Structure 1
Amino acid sequence: MKTRATGLNPHNRFQTIVTDRDVDDGWHHAPEDDLNPDSLATEVVNETVRSIISRNTSPDVPFDQSINPYRGCEHACIYCFARPTHAYWDMSPGLDFETRLIAKPNAARKLREELDKPGYRVSPIALGVNTDAYQPLERKRRITRELLEVLLEYRHPVSIITKGALILRDLDLLSELADQGLCSVRISLTTLSNDLKRRMEPRTAAPATRLKMIEQLAGAGIPTGIIIGPVIPFVNDQEIEAILTAAASAGATRASWIMLRLPLELDELFTDWLQRHFPQRAEHVMNRIRDLRGGKSYDATFGRRMTGTGPYSDLIRQRFSKKARQLGLNLHEAEPLRNDLFRRPAGEQMGLW
């Protein structure tokens, strides 16, 4: 059975809940548990949401509307910036984030309601930003597919970020959207190493699988790119050129990068992970991260939070840009998603009466 990324369930900032892995509670611990926590079954509860579209005005992201079909993520990426959001539900950003998930079964119905509002302003919706819309739970729940069906019906533009191979299940919908200029996909590709992937993103698709995803998506006519997110000093930064080369060979036409961010409880979780998996370089990694953030582990300032500042950030930017140019990536402006095709299905408004 696959492992989890962290064994910690640290205090969240709203409620004092914590577990201690050093206490002998009588349960069996596998010999390799010094690197990987015991596997736990995933628990899922439903949330009946009042609205489904989230809006933001951040200058650091290329969208102002997003939808997250799930809260928490079984992909268990140790670096996930969304982990601290689990604290709002009185759960830990640690192991709870990976094992105690919340699904939104009425998401498609709420999306219809919002798109039917007379004052709705069409703008591309980013699908699966905080947590992956194609995490394993989607195979049974199919909430993401239901949302795509609504977006296709309304001819609404959508962009997707994922590292889940399940996206290939929806090639039919994505291809039809792309044919109308309504869809683009970004695959999160952080390493080409199976070993690092297993440690860092234990329940995600293998690197080779993600390259095949890019190949199949691009082959289906869907504008496809990658995000190297995050770049982690002395962990995966040496792979930037190799990742870009592999992605371009698979058919990606665009690429971007994001520096590691450690907001709130994520600082403790990531530091613990470093100590368990890379003890000899852990201090070196954290020192470089603090150099990027003005001596702190995180700086939320717009314009700096995604890349950091200083010589190391400049070096990563230069390396990335040079290789991307050599490979012909990002040669043109980002493909525009069309807003002018939006329509409300015939009879939809009459059906409300």
Structure 2
Amino acid sequence: MGKTSVPHHGRGAQSAAVPQRFGLAQRSADGDWRDAVTELDGPVPKLRTTVTEEEPKSILSFNQSPDIAFDRSVNAYRGCEHGCIYCFARPTHAYHDLSPGLDFETKLFAKPNAADLLRKTLARPKYRPRPIAMGTNTDPYQPIEGRYRITRQLLEVCLETRHPVTITTKSDRVLRDLDLLVELASHHLVAVSISVTSLDPVLSGNLEPRAASPAKRLAALEKLVAAGIPAHCSIAPVIPAITDSFLEEIVARAAAGGVQNCGWIPLRLPHEVAPLFREWLDVHFPERAGKVMGIVQSIRGGRDNDPDFFTRLRPRGVWADLFRARFRLACKRAGVTNPPFDLDTVAFRPPQNARQLQLL
């Protein structure tokens, strides 16, 4: 992947890097016709987002990872227009011969039949409920949710069946479903996590070009708390020498809004995310790139990324210990006690149409 000298405005990735893990054709070191597009045809047109509708056979994904708190998830969309350069989900686009770079944030896929598929899954006789995680791969409240409303439909199924659900997002668009969230919360069926990476809107605009501003995310957390919805402020990811300086203030601002649950997640750079992030650094922080990656490698055992269970979410070394100490102290100062979210898995009831079919 060649280096870019100027930012690709409005997008997180700076190139459409071809994945190297699946034997796809690679560009030669000398480049090819795409390098001469501007010279031959003039300025490249502004990238537009496209959405392809698909009809998967299933919607509920199960995992056996021992170091995460959920064992099942739903993703209404593939790809994410928020364009967060550090997004660990970017490599999933490579499975479809698409670029984890610009394709991930411009070539999106929506699953309009997701709610119907979820209802069928929950109707299975052997199904046993545990919280469904939404937003673990791509954001359920990215801009196209405003048109498709697939996330809302999934929440309606959860409410109908009294099924617990957790939501992770970087968007204040979650407030559009406040009516459903309030009712779900009244039955102890929902918890919402909003990720706040920095408090600098310019920096966030480069890191997460189409996500909500930090101020809007903090305001959304405050409104969720005021509505009685269990809310979590996730400082994710913490990027050394780029965003870690905001750690204490984010905790303080979240606590001032009534949030009693905060956490932090260190930067992860799996597969194609590492070269994409390095390219982003070369464009936006060339003078700091070496320091950033030096600290990243120091907490990842000398590598850009640590893929191993447990340690991938729990970095090691002096810098990691410093971040942990700073976070603990920030929570203590702000009065953040981090109580657990206890969601109800007992009240679950199969979908009504399933019960009617059983009667027949």
TM-score (norm 1): 0.94
Q: Does the alignment pair 1:311 with 2:283? A: no
Give the match for residue 348 of structure 1: 354
Query: Unpaired runs of 5+ in structure 1?
Result: 31-37
**8 Å CA contact 1:325, 1:331 repeated in 2:** no
**8 Å CA contact 1:189, 1:229 repeated in 2:** yes
Per-residue CA deviation, residues 50-83 of structure 1 (Å, 9 max, x unaligned), is: 1111111223221111111000000000000000
* Counterparts of 1:39 and 1:325, CA distance in 2: 47
1:190 pairs with 192, 197, 201, which one? Answer: 197
Instruction: Provide the secondary structure at the position in 2 that maps to 1:23.
Output: helix
RMSD: 1.8
Q: Does the alignment pair 1:23 with 2:36? A: yes
* Counterparts of 1:113 and 1:348, CA distance in 2: 8
Q: Does the alignment pair 1:237 with 2:244? A: yes
* Counterparts of 1:155 and 1:55, CA distance in 2: 20
Give the match for residue 129 of structure 1: 136
* Counterparts of 2:316 and 2:54, CA distance in 1: 39
**Pairwise CA distance, 1:350:** 2.6
**8 Å CA contact 1:224, 1:251 repeated in 2:** no
**Pairwise CA distance, 1:247:** 0.9
Give the match for residue 77 of structure 1: 84
Q: Does the alignment pair 1:263 with 2:276? A: no
Per-residue CA deviation, residues 141-188 of structure 1 (Å, 9 max, x unaligned), is: 110000000000000000100011211110000000001100110100
2:334 pairs with 315, 327, 352, which one? Answer: 327
Paired-residue identity, % = 48
Moved more, 276-285 or 10-19: 10-19
Code of the aligned partner of 1:144: T
* Counterparts of 2:99 and 2:242, CA distance in 1: 25
**8 Å CA contact 2:114, 2:154 repeated in 1:** yes
Q: Does the alignment pair 1:302 with 2:315? A: no
* Counterparts of 2:10 and 2:353, CA distance in 1: 49
For residues 126 and 103 of structure 1, do their structure 2 counterparts lie closer, same or farther at Cα, with a shift above 3 Å needed? same
Give the match for residue 3 of structure 2: none
Moved more, 12-21 or 321-330: 12-21
* Counterparts of 2:338 and 2:59, CA distance in 1: 35
Q: Does the alignment pair 1:63 with 2:70? A: yes
Give the match for residue 122 of structure 2: 115
For residues 331 and 169 of structure 1, do their structure 2 counterparts lie closer, same or farther at Cα, with a shift above 3 Å needed? closer
Give the match for residue 150 of structure 2: 143
Give the match for residue 35 of structure 1: none
- The number of residue pairs the alignment matches comes to 345
Give the match for residue 290 of structure 1: 297
Code of the aligned partner of 2:57: R
Give the alignment of 1:71-110 within 5 angstroms.
Answer: 71-110=78-117
Give the match for residue 17 of structure 2: 10
* Counterparts of 1:347 and 1:24, CA distance in 2: 55
Moved more, 314-323 or 72-81: 314-323
Code of the aligned partner of 2:66: P
Where does structure 1 differ by over 3 angstroms across 4 or more consecutive aligned residues? 17-24, 26-30
**8 Å CA contact 2:83, 2:210 repeated in 1:** yes
For residues 27 and 314 of structure 1, do their structure 2 counterparts lie closer, same or farther at Cα, with a shift above 3 Å needed? farther
For residues 103 and 290 of structure 1, do their structure 2 counterparts lie closer, same or farther at Cα, with a shift above 3 Å needed? same
Instruction: Provide the secondary structure at the position in 2 that maps to 1:272.
Output: helix
